[in-house]
Structure 1
């Protein structure tokens, strides 16, 4: 199998602001729309630096910690008909690519280092960007995007990624999406995440930029995917049984009632740097960490004996994921639920094409 690499997209046009409601477009409106669409697919520097480069550097260590399957994701995959073709967009180390032996899996990820790990396991994978998937329309029976959208730094890019997932599945095909929630179950963990500083605002394009924050914004703790919880068998389930508890059953405190999640201007914190600690003995295996330290991409923590990388996250508030798909004319939400500090939705494609 040949590995296909997708280079970072370079800006091809001048960024144009969103048109305000009630303002008529000029004759160049269609050109601006086309230009804006191209820019959505152009990766912002903050994603290149704090997502792409970080995951390339930590790939082996990251992979060694990602082996357990989330029960709800496993249940979804095992509920699909025999012979289904399934795309895992943002497949990481490929832990879901062999989950259901009666189905066919293909995967993609933006990290060449993670894709190499998948390819070495014999998976059918390639390097690709979630907002510009290199697959034909209507090719698959289902698609999943697990813990991926929160690494995209603008609302337009997050919408585009969802549209791409829907595009590549057939009419009637299902799409499962999970993202980290700002409403975390265990509030005691919220101590080490770092809200983005104002200097990073210029690295955004389009809407969805970080909101202005007060000078004493709180810091939050790194939260793992908590994959260790609930391991075991995953029986076949129906689509209706995937929801489990109601949305509020495991998240009783709203973000507006929890001061640790609200900035001084009264708005929720949603843009963060989440640390990844790469042990020194692993960091010494390759020159990636030495380069990262020299370039300021990482820093040393001698007390913990690790090289620390920051990963960019946009954590989702309740209802935000649903709002992103509310205007889509070719898909409907058939399920939505909160699971282990993640917001999750299942979409069904309603129109061919």
Structure 2
């Protein structure tokens, strides 16, 4: 088992000229409702993440033997080592998920998607699977794509997938908690987002496997004492809504007694659902509309779109680095 040495000059660098400090600074909503949540639910989340998406598997299988593949936002590492003829290095913002990867013998490190710690042109290919929708501003999403292009060689391919607004099951959009206010660019303040309605179901059929497999489909109860949900308003037309909280139910028997879950409950970042016997965490998502992912690449002069497609309620794109 090896862990990447982040103190060495090779192959990792930090280029302060790549982006402004504001883009690299993590907004509070991501810290609380992405980073902290995944650290808290990591073992349970990992137990539900094992099936490989066919399109991702096809992409990885198509790469030449000996390719070095960078997985940015690798989660529990389910794609690391998928193609045994290639080499994989993964990174994720969650130390808890990275520990799971390390325990499985993968080459991984903790890193931010908007500031990848690899030198320019390091990898032969890169993937970002279900990551960009957790970034809360357009600039940060664009920066993450620029980073993926930067770290691959000329001619290298980049596969990106994100959750879509255009869900195959449209009823799902009424089962998540839409956020009433779109966050201002580079939002980092202490203000509380406000929700417009309570989610009525936990169903996450927009991804191949979900926590429903272990928890069933009963209705979700969300406490009005949770500060981040704010005051509940009347249901509104969510046709153009793209900002959501999507709940994750961590069963009581999987929650650490006196650990992260206890702290989250005490601070209002999680609630209890005694009916389901679980601690409820909310994960922040910006779901993508048709053409939005491609539009983020318009200003990247050294990359071109070679394929884009819709798969299992996800928008997907493949880029090639041209210079």
TM range (shorter): 0.7 to 0.9
Q: Residues 36-69 of structure 1, C-alpha deviation per residue, up to 9 Å, x if partnerless?
A: 7111000000000000000000000000000000
**SS of residue paired to 1:325:** coil
**Which of 72-81 and 276-285 deviates more?**
276-285
**SS of residue paired to 1:117:** helix
**SS of residue paired to 1:105:** strand
Identify the match of residue 70 of structure 2 among 70, 87, 112: 87
The answer to whether the 8 Å contact 2:46/2:76 transfers is yes
2:279 is equivalent to residue 296 of structure 1:
no
Structure with bigger gyration radius: 1
The answer to whether the 8 Å contact 2:168/2:206 transfers is no
2:192 is equivalent to residue 177 of structure 1:
no
Structure 2 equivalent of residue 226 of structure 1:
207
The answer to whether the 8 Å contact 2:91/2:98 transfers is yes
Distance 1:194 1:67 in 2: 27
Judged with a 3 Å threshold, the aligned counterparts in structure 2 of structure 1 residues 343 and 72 are, in CA distance, closer, same or farther, namely same
Distance 1:319 1:220 in 2: 29
Judged with a 3 Å threshold, the aligned counterparts in structure 2 of structure 1 residues 285 and 73 are, in CA distance, closer, same or farther, namely farther
Q: Residues 219-273 of structure 1, C-alpha deviation per residue, up to 9 Å, x if partnerless?
A: 57542453259xxxxxxxxxxxxxxxxxxxxxxxxxxxxxxxx955x86000000
Structure 1 equivalent of residue 14 of structure 2:
none
Judged with a 3 Å threshold, the aligned counterparts in structure 2 of structure 1 residues 35 and 217 are, in CA distance, closer, same or farther, namely farther
Distance 1:282 1:218 in 2: 24
Superposed CA RMSD in Å reads: 2.8
The answer to whether the 8 Å contact 2:164/2:313 transfers is yes
Judged with a 3 Å threshold, the aligned counterparts in structure 2 of structure 1 residues 268 and 220 are, in CA distance, closer, same or farther, namely farther
Distance 1:5 1:271 in 2: 34
Distance 1:188 1:195 in 2: 13
Distance 1:295 1:167 in 2: 39
Unaligned runs of at least 5 residues, structure 1: 7-33, 207-211, 230-261
**Structure 1 position 3, deviation (Å):** 6.0
Judged with a 3 Å threshold, the aligned counterparts in structure 2 of structure 1 residues 218 and 324 are, in CA distance, closer, same or farther, namely farther
* Number of residue pairs the alignment of both structures matches: 285
Distance 2:303 2:29 in 1: 30
Structure 2 equivalent of residue 313 of structure 1:
285
Distance 1:335 1:36 in 2: 27
**Structure 1 position 177, deviation (Å):** 0.2
Judged with a 3 Å threshold, the aligned counterparts in structure 2 of structure 1 residues 225 and 62 are, in CA distance, closer, same or farther, namely farther
Distance 2:109 2:25 in 1: 19
TM-score norm. by structure 1 comes to 0.75
**Structure 1 position 197, deviation (Å):** 3.9
Identify the match of residue 301 of structure 2 among 319, 329, 334: 329
Judged with a 3 Å threshold, the aligned counterparts in structure 2 of structure 1 residues 3 and 293 are, in CA distance, closer, same or farther, namely farther
Structure 1 equivalent of residue 119 of structure 2:
136
The answer to whether the 8 Å contact 2:3/2:108 transfers is no
**Structure 1 position 178, deviation (Å):** 0.2
Matches within 5 A, 1:1-353: 1-2=2-3, 37-198=20-181, 201=183, 205=186, 222-228=203-209, 264=237, 268-284=240-256, 287-351=259-323
**SS of residue paired to 1:173:** strand
**SS of residue paired to 1:122:** coil
Unaligned runs of at least 5 residues, structure 2: 8-16, 188-192, 211-234
Structure 1 equivalent of residue 226 of structure 2:
none
Distance 2:209 2:270 in 1: 27
Judged with a 3 Å threshold, the aligned counterparts in structure 2 of structure 1 residues 286 and 113 are, in CA distance, closer, same or farther, namely farther
Q: Residues 79-121 of structure 1, C-alpha deviation per residue, up to 9 Å, x if partnerless?
A: 0000000000000000000210000000000000000000000
